[in-house]
A and B are shown apart, each in its own frame.
Chain A
């Protein structure tokens, strides 16, 4: 369950930015997770629940922005949405494709309330 180490990295990043901005509690955290990033979103939200107890992320809303995977065919340069790593190009049927989007794992923003 590598989602646990991913959750710990997310907390580290949230801590770093909260300290820098002098934030005590985060209301919401936005994550960009590529559909082929290798992360199980349910496992990640569960892991986040566990590691964020009594931290700046305690009870913060977790918003997951799904980034759909896209690939470019090396044979015909067609770009298409990819559901898995082993689908051929829908235009020419070639398997020689490069993933150009969908493996993202990013913390996009923290939403905080200074009031």
Chain B
């Protein structure tokens, strides 16, 4: 709850909205400082309607017999045999079918926080402006900051705030896509919550999963977080301009990543200087060719 105006926006609520729908409150305090905060609009929220109704039965049971024997209270087993992620996986397949039918290339971008996912998207949008229609779903626990950056770079964007959630799931993507309405033959970039653990288990319906690591991180990241590297198809190694200043062993990092997933394809680049960026743009263009 906002301490200043008392509005209730629980921390754990998932909100999905476009930057223009974020409703900014500004408060000015007596001491002259001010702060802003956001509200989701009703249109960006799902409402769940609990349909409660009561039953009453009005008939008597009279039992007039005794049980002289003892019951053996051993439980009955109900076979379930169901994948725990079934619901997420089914909805992910629906998303995938929708993307395929509309010829949309959907990429799930995963990484630890600070590896440069949003900067990569900003540069990609600017460089491909007029050549490729790019839509973005931004996933973060809180704030519209990334959506604002993407909008400023010139792409339609929907921000998903997961509240306390540590990853996007296929239902959030499904709902965000309904708001975004990406055109046929476009690209959908889904920037997952910065976290190398949790998003690995949740299929969003993407065509490819792209893991981004930066060379300011340790080269053993692939060994420490193998599930994420195992489930990705492409690995972008970012901040290559810093290589002369760091002890990062690039060959070792790739070797570790290949031990975890020998199908992984690498793209080395620097979002800041543009070094190696053409390889990434070419990779995108190859995949969006009809």
Contacts and interface: CB of A to CB of B under 8 A. Distances in A.
A23 B204 CA distance: 33
Contacts of B84: 6, 9-10, 13, 31, 105-107
B78 A13 contact: no
Contacts, number: 97
Contacts of B166: 1-2
Interface residues of B, number: 38
Contacts of B86: 9, 13
Interface centre among A9, A84, A86, A108 (most CB of B within 10 A): A86
A42 interface: no
A109 B198 CA distance: 26
Interface string B200-233: 1110000000000000000000110011011000
A105 to B, nearest CB: 4
A3 B168 CA distance: 14
Interface residues of A, number: 36
A70 B176 CA distance: 37
A84 B226 contact: yes
Contacts of B229: 85
A38 B197 contact: yes
A85 B230 contact: yes
Interface of A: 1-2, 5-6, 9-10, 12-13, 17, 21, 23, 27-28, 31, 36-39, 84-86, 88, 95-96, 99, 105-115
